[in-house]
A and B are shown apart, each in its own frame.
Chain A
Amino acid sequence: MTSIIQITLKGIFRDRVFQGIMALAVLFLFIPSAASLSMRQVVETSITLSLSLISFILLLLSVFLGATSLWKDMERRYTFSVISLPVSRSSYLLGRFFGLALFLVITAAVLAVAALLAIKFAVLMYPPDRPVLWGALVLALLFATLKYILLVGVALLLSTVSTSFFLPIFGTICAFLASGITQQVYEYVHMPASANAVSPFLKSAATVLYYLLPNLAGFDLNVNAIYGIQPNPNGLMITLGYFLAYTSILLGAAALLFDRREMQ
């Protein structure tokens, strides 16, 4: 499996994905000056911009790398030469997953350094009223990374059943968009006030989706990072547990489906 992880990383670097990201990372240089346009709360704005930029890059990576990696292997018929080696399909799939996850971690770490430097610069230039909680900032980045690693799992699961990259890419994007609002929708349909407005069918459909779709709201610690509020340790543990459980289920299902997949 480690060889598959290595190959995965090598493939991503050779395809100059990383170089592309580094080009995007140049944007961090402009964050302090862009934030200074807001006149007040320059540091808060810098943090917001940095976190959004990192999130956006990680989202792009998780969706496109996650959705195309298995698909490309099957499309270009690399699977014939690799799956026929004495490696189980699940090891192959896990190798791909951990390779992609590792790449997200590396990218996030590099971008985090750039972001922290940009924010530090903003802090020095425009000292904020409230001290920046660097710990909360790092935690926010960490959980954002976990969130997108989970999304890679979604993309891989979808690519084990799909013959094109269409379903994995758009499916993952939909899962991501839906994941932000499932909590609100769930709470809305279960409000006593909406009992009349929502049909029972819709209510149960929403409930099924609520449990099926990833709930990524807990991974968002941006508010804590921006306003310097300590995150709740219990909440973090629950989110971490959720991440581990949900990702394991995704990978387990993906392994089962991939094992049954015909290479032709």
Chain B
Amino acid sequence: MYAVEIRGLSKSYKTKKLRTVEALKGLSLDIEQGEVFGFLGPNGAGKSTTIKCLMGLIRPTAGAASILGCDIASPQARRQVGYLPENPAFYDYLSAEEYLRFVGKMFDMSPEDAARRVQEVLNLLELWEPRKRLIRTYSKGMVQRLGLAQVLIHDPEVYILDEPMSGLDPLGRALVKEIILDLKKRRKCVFFSTHITDDVEKVCDRVAVINKGDLLAVDRVENILERGVEGYDVTAASADGQVQELFVHKEELPSFLKQTLDQKLAIEKIEPRRKNMEAFFLELVAR
């Protein structure tokens, strides 16, 4: 059973001028349990549209999807999900503590469990101090962190996060990455959208690239990085102790190695020089 299974999902919006926008065109994706999956695409690619369909907020024009085997049409599908909306907003007349308790109740947590978890996640996201303040007094970053807190509170199996790093300062972004890596360690499934390639490179097992509603690629991050190897930066010392730095093309590596043996060069360091995720992404989207 897949954590998230998407089959031919399409969505067209009707705009005010009676035009239709095809925001998503027949997307199919399988996301395994225990995997961190990056959903990478430029602004307007259809990432939020996909996620809103999964969360039952909008109705797909065609196609189907399920979460842990449960069709997304049923509220039951959301039982094992923590969802962070893009630029989230929460009842601003409640305090963070009250809101988290409310979320706990909606997930049928016992009051004791909820109280314990509320304390844990508030501490984790550094919201313990202001926990009794009304949310309407929070800064944007604090609201984003509260959004992550309400995702974590019931310790679900699947995390669906729409641009989790947006609106955060570098410290906050580092914290989010840490949280995602911790979830990975605990074999949870994380599906998050982003337009920042570096986020994908650092935390994801697999990545899908989407643009204008079309799926352009799905692959393991390590494969992409490996395929991206263009050559090697080599530091070698000759017999008389002269050190030289060379760039060797990928295809030339075997012959270069043979050559070093013949010439009795000692290789001190060899590092792959690769195109990074950003180059891969830009190339795909520009095509």
Contact surface of A with B, Cβ cutoff 8 Å: 3, 6-7, 10-11, 14-15, 76-88, 260, 262-264
Q: Contacting A77 at CB < 8 Å: which of B89, B94, B105?
A: B89
A-B CB pair tally, cutoff 8 Å: 73
CA distance A85 to B75 in the complex (A): 8
Question: A87–B75 contact, CB under 8 A?
Answer: yes
> 6 closest pairs, A vs B, by CB?
A80-B85, A263-B57, A14-B93, A84-B55, A85-B106, A86-B78
User: A10 to B90, Cβ gap below 8 A?
Assistant: no
The contact of A76 among B92, B102, B147, B150, by CB within 8 Å, is B92
A173-B93 Cα distance, complex, nearest whole Å = 28
Of A87, A88, A262, the residue contacting B58 (CB under 8 A) is: A262
User: Chain B, interface size: which category?
Assistant: 20 to 34
Nearest-CB distance from A256 to chain B (Å)? 14
B79 to A263, Cβ gap below 8 A? no
Known A-B contacts A86-B76, A87-B75, A88-B75; the reply to A80 vs B102 at CB < 8 A is: no
B107 at the interface (CB under 8 A from A): yes
Complex-state Cα separation, A43 to B76, whole angstroms: 58
Is there a chain A Cβ closer than 8 Å to B69's Cβ? no
For B56, give its contact among A3, A15, A83 (CB under 8 Å): A83
Given A86-B75, A87-B75, A264-B52, does the pair A80, B105 have CB atoms closer than 8 Å?
A: no
Tell me which residues across on chain B come within 8 A of A81, comparing CB atoms.
83, 85, 88-90, 147, 150
Are the C-beta atoms of A3 and B57 separated by less than 8 Å?
no
Q: Are A84 and B56 in contact (CB under 8 A)?
A: yes
Q: A83's closest neighbor in chain B, by CB?
A: B57
CB contacts (< 8 Å) of A83 on chain B: these are 55-57
When A3-B102, A3-B106 are in contact, do A11 and B57 touch as well, CB less than 8 Å? Answer: no
- Measured between alpha carbons, how far is A11 from B55 in the docked complex, in Å? 25
Kindly identify, within residues 4 to 31 of chain B, every residue whose CB is under 8 Å from any CB belonging to chain A: 13
Indicate if B91 sits at the interface (CB-CB under 8 A): yes
Binding site for A on B (CB under 8 A): 13, 52, 55-59, 75-76, 78-79, 81, 83, 85, 87-94, 98, 102-103, 105-107, 134, 147, 150
Closest-CB distance, B248 to chain A (whole angstroms): 52
- Is A78 in contact with B93, judged by CB distance below 8 angstroms? no
In angstroms, how far is the closest chain A Cβ from the Cβ of B44?
14
Q: What is the chain A residue whose CB lies nearest that of B49?
A: A264
A85 and B89 alpha carbons, distance in the complex (Å): 14
Contact A7–B91 (Cβ < 8 Å): yes
Interchain CB contact under 8 A, A86 and B59: no
A-chain residues with CB within 8 Å of residue B59 when the two chains form the complex: 260, 262
How near does chain A come to B121, taking the closest CB pair, in angstroms? 15
Among residues of B, the one whose C-beta sits closest to the C-beta of A14 is: B93
Looking at the assembled complex, report how far the CB atom of A226 sits from the nearest CB atom of chain B, in whole angstroms.
40
The CA-CA distance from A6 to B134 in the complex, in Å, is 17
Whether A80 contacts B75 by the Cβ 8 Å rule is no
Cα-based distance from A16 to B193 in the complex (angstroms): 39
Q: Which of A11, A85, A260 contacts B91 (CB 8 A)?
A: A11
B85→A84 contact, CB < 8 A: yes
CB pair A85–B52 under 8 Å, yes or no, is: no
Considering the chains assembled together, what is the distance between the CA atoms of A3 and B100 in angstroms?
A: 12
What CA separation (Å) do A77 and B92 show in the bound complex? 11
> Bound state CA distance, A84 and B58, in angstroms?
11
Complex alpha-carbon distance, A263 and B56, angstroms: 9
**Would you give the shortest CB distance from B71 to chain A, in whole angstroms?**
14
A85 x B103 contact (CB < 8 A): yes
Contact partners of B89 in chain A: CB under 8 A: 76-78, 80-81
- Residue numbers in B under 8 Å from A77 (CB-CB): 85, 87-89
Given A263-B52, A263-B57, A264-B58, A84–B92 Cβ distance below 8 Å?
no
User: B226: shortest Cβ distance to chain A, in Å?
Assistant: 37
- Residues on the B chain within 8 Å of A260, using CB: 59
Asked if B90 contacts A78 (CB within 8 A), the reply is yes
Chain B nearest CB from A228 CB (Å) reads 44
Give A5 Cβ to nearest chain B Cβ, in Å: 12
B56 partner residues in chain A, CB cutoff 8 A: 83-84
5 contacts between A and B (CB under 8 A): A11-B91, A83-B57, A85-B107, A263-B52, A263-B58
Distance in angstroms between the alpha carbons of A262 and B105 in the assembled complex:
25
Residue of A nearest to B105 (CB): A3
